[in-house]
Amino acid sequence: MTQHLAARTAADSADALDWWRDAVIYQVYPRSFADGDGDGTGDLPGIRARLPYLAQLGVDAVWLSPFYASPQADGGYDVADYRAIDPVYGTLHDADALIRDAHGLGLRVIVDVVPNHSSDRHEWFRRALAEGPGSPLRARYHFRPGKGADGELPPNDWESIFGGPAWTRCPDGEWYLHLFAPEQPDFDWEHPAVADEFRSILRFWLDMGVDGFRVDVAHGLVKAAGLPDIGGTGQLGLLGNAAMPFFDQDGVHDIYRSWRRVLEEYPGRRIAVAEAWTPTVERTANYVRPDELHQAFNFQYLGTYWDAAELRPVIDASLAAMRPVGAPATWVLSNHDVTRHTTRFANPAGLGTQLRSAGDPVRGLRRARAATLLMLALPGSAYLYQGEELGLPDVTDLPDEVRQDPAFARGAGQDGFRDGCRVPIPWTVAGSSYGFGDGGSWLPQPAGWGELSVEAQTGDPGSTLELYRAALAVRRAHAALGAGDGVEWLPAPEGVLLFRRTSGDAAFVCAANTTGAPVRITVPAGRLLLSSAAGGVSGGESGGEVDLPADTTAWWSAEAG
């Protein structure tokens, strides 16, 4: 064990072992967070320099999207070498320094692992391609002969999530499977070398001191035997949740049982969170059974609009699904794959999670702030996406020529708007790329983003940044937030969610008005802690009758009920 790990183990108290159950985890998209060397792309030294900002924000952990050696065909989710840092992001030394600094600031570090597919430049794939049909290396991926008289048709009817067929033909006539871009060939997890290699990759990063993994496409690793046709159900979409022969197959769970054993070889509590798109929250719960992964993203919650009538059943179903397996529920509003929630809620309901319209930004921000306070009041763990603490909107008008989302090109401009949530973060009011770096930014930032910068919002009590700081401080100080596995719903008018949370002697009440008008509610006696409304909440300082403004969430401390 390295000195580094020994030091950390000593710091791990028994309480800290359950750190992940109510952790607030902040997602960093490395290309777009902070650029240390002025080449226009974010990097590990840039992130490292900003760690004090994250510690001060009050999050518990940082999840880093991929920084591995990669041709960047899909923003680094196309990994050429799982044990190397892409030069654009830095070096292994930088990663080590970042992990140490984070731990020194009390922040845990979670890294992405991408096991469903590699890059087409990964050594295994390059050699498999070069050696031709019959090479044993081809068995580590899904190579197949085509259909039709000359094998000119793909082996089955599966479509890529980024558009077009899920198969690409090699010059020698065989086809290979890629559920995502052609530059992302799918591994065949039936091959034991694949499973061995990934256990080794996990150990490599655990030895580096990381606290956990976010498992990319965790539901996709095992494909149904014989790779059967779907039978014309049409295009899938990234957020599709219909049963598919390449998603959520029962065999994936053996893989995660073996990963859990690897995680438990290490001191402290190392965790894994599944990116698993499944048809139901009950299927998602299978990934977090006690001998599998620790958490799974709650995409059902992410896909729910700002509407009490829709939110309450999703909250209830999420908590109910996790209870039998003893895993914490998780909550998330934004990530690097969807339109930021500020912009989703600025638009009417029913438009999905990839939008091109800015909508009504004032209303969107008001709702986003309220949605955050609601999310942070729920039991379990919450995920934040970089920039949401600044209330950043999606950049919906990026010119086509700067877009890099592979789905944009493959979908002929009909899809693939994920660049809009990946525009680099504004840190300062003025200066080159608003403090992102000295050399511009790989995606253009809108004029006026200086007003949304960290510098502009710091110290302004009405700012979204200060709202997040206050909310996270209250969450840390108040035992009833985050803890437990249930909420006690209190009677509330239509369009309002009102609930109490209790932990020991501490109790807490949350009210969320999802309507566009003020609503009078009755809140149990207690002290107003925080409200998302820019103008505050008048009349509810100690509970009782409160006029809750439109699209507002407020928190009160209360007597245990």
Active site residues: 216, 265
Q: Which two tokens stand for residue 416?
A: 């693939």
Cβ neighbours of 258 (radius 10 Å): 15
DSSP string, 346-386: TS-TTS-S-------HHHHHHHHHHHHHHHHTSSSEEEEET
Between 319 and 398, CB nearer to ligand NOJ: 398
* Residues 287/199/176/156 CA torsion (nearest 10 deg): -30
* CA nearest neighbour of 179 among 128, 129, 249, 101: 249
Residue of minimal Cβ distance to ligand NOJ? 77
Distance set, CA 554 to CA 61, 393, 488 (Å): 25, 23, 16
Smallest gap from residue 418 Cβ to ligand NOJ (A) = 7
Query: Residue type at 96?
Result: D
Q: Which two tokens stand for residue 226?
A: 């014989």
Between 417 and 427, CB nearer to ligand NOJ: 417
Smallest gap from residue 214 Cβ to ligand NOJ (A) = 9
Between 181 and 392, CB nearer to ligand NOJ: 181
Between 115 and 435, CB nearer to ligand NOJ: 115
Between 22 and 394, CB nearer to ligand NOJ: 394
SS3 sequence of 159-215: ECCCCCECEEECCCCCEEECCCCCCCCEECCCCHHHHHHHHHHHHHHHHCCCCEEEE
Contacts to ligand NOJ by CB under 6 A: 74, 77, 114, 180, 216-217, 275, 336-337
Query: Residue type at 561?
Result: G
Cα 189 to Cα 448: distance, rounded to the nearest angstrom: 48
Smallest gap from residue 220 Cβ to ligand NOJ (A) = 9
Cα-Cα end-to-end distance for the chain: 48
Smallest gap from residue 415 Cβ to ligand NOJ (A) = 12
Smallest gap from residue 216 Cβ to ligand NOJ (A) = 5
DSSP string, 404-430: --HHHHHTTTSS--GGGG-SPPP-SSS
Q: Which two tokens stand for residue 127?
A: 């050699």
Cα 356 to Cα 292: distance, rounded to the nearest angstrom: 38
> Which residues are bridge partners to 273 per DSSP?
214, 295
Smallest gap from residue 409 Cβ to ligand NOJ (A) = 13
Smallest gap from residue 116 Cβ to ligand NOJ (A) = 7
Return the half-sphere exposure (C-beta side, CA atoms, 13 A cut-off) of residue 158. 27
Between 81 and 96, CB nearer to ligand NOJ: 81
Smallest gap from residue 275 Cβ to ligand NOJ (A) = 6
Cα 307 to Cα 304: distance, rounded to the nearest angstrom: 8
Are the beta carbons of 516 and 529 closer than 8 angstroms? no
Smallest gap from residue 77 Cβ to ligand NOJ (A) = 3
Q: Cα 228 to chain center, whole Å?
A: 31
Q: Is the dihedral of CA 372, 373, 378, 381 positive or negative?
A: positive
Between 181 and 546, CB nearer to ligand NOJ: 181
